[in-house]
Amino acid sequence: MLLASALPGCTVGPDFVRPAAPSFEHYTRHDPAALTDGEGGVTQALRRGQAVPVRWWQAYGSPALDELVATALDGSATLESARATVAQARHLLDPARGARYPRIDLTASAARTHGARDGGQGGAANVLSFGPAVNADTDAFGANRRRVEQAQALADYQLAQWQAAQLSLSGNAVLQAIALAAAREQIAAVGDIIAVDRRNLELVRLASEAGKSARLDVLTAESQLDSDRALLPPLQQQASVAAHALAVLAGKTAQWEPPPFALQDFSLPAELPLVLPSLLVRRRPDILAAQAQLHAASAAIGIASAQLYPDITLSAQWTATGASVGGLFGGASLWSLAANLVAPVFDAGTLAAQRAAATDAYAAQLGAYRQALLQAFGQVADTLESLRHDAALLEAQRKALGTALAVLDLTRQSYQAGQASLLQLLESQRQYQQARLGHARAQGQRYADTAQWFIAMGGAPTP
Ranges under pLDDT 50 in the chain: 1-8, 463
Residues contacting 112, CB < 8 A, separation 6+: 124, 125, 126, 127
In this prediction, residue 121 carries a pLDDT of: 60
Distances (CA, A) of 412 to 140, 168, 436: 92, 49, 18
Helical axes 215-229 vs 143-209, angle rounded to 10°: 160
DSSP 402-436: HHHHHHHHHHHHHHHTTSS-HHHHHHHHHHHHHHH
Q: What does the CA dihedral 337, 343, 345, 349 come to, rounded to 10 degrees? A: 150
Ramachandran quadrant class, 40 (left: phi over 0; alpha: psi -120 to 50; beta: rest): left
Structural domains of the chain, ranges and CATH numbers in brackets:
2-13+31-110+125-456 (1.20.1600.10)
Nearest partner of 281 among 15, 16, 25, judged by Cα: 25
Cβ(263)–Cβ(442) below 8 Å: no
Edge-to-edge strand list for the sheet holding 43-48? 34-36, 43-48, 271-274
φ, ψ (nearest 5 deg) of residue 122: -90, 160
Cα-based angle 62, 64, 69 (whole degrees, multiple of 5): 100
Given this model, what pLDDT does residue 1 score?
A: 46
Count the neighbouring beta carbons within 10 Å of the beta carbon of residue 138: 20
Cα(408)–Cα(404) distance, integer angstroms: 6
How is the beta sheet containing 311-322 ordered, strand by strand?
103-116, 122-137, 311-322, 333-342
**Is the CB of residue 57 less than 8 Å from the CB of residue 66?**
yes
Q: 279-321: per-residue pLDDT in tens?
A: 999 999 999 999 999 999 999 999 999 999 988 888 888 887 7
Q: Is the distance from CB of 277 to CB of 21 less than 8 angstroms?
A: yes
Whole-number Å distance between alpha carbons of 233 and 213: 32
Q: What per-residue confidence (pLDDT) applies to 335?
A: 80
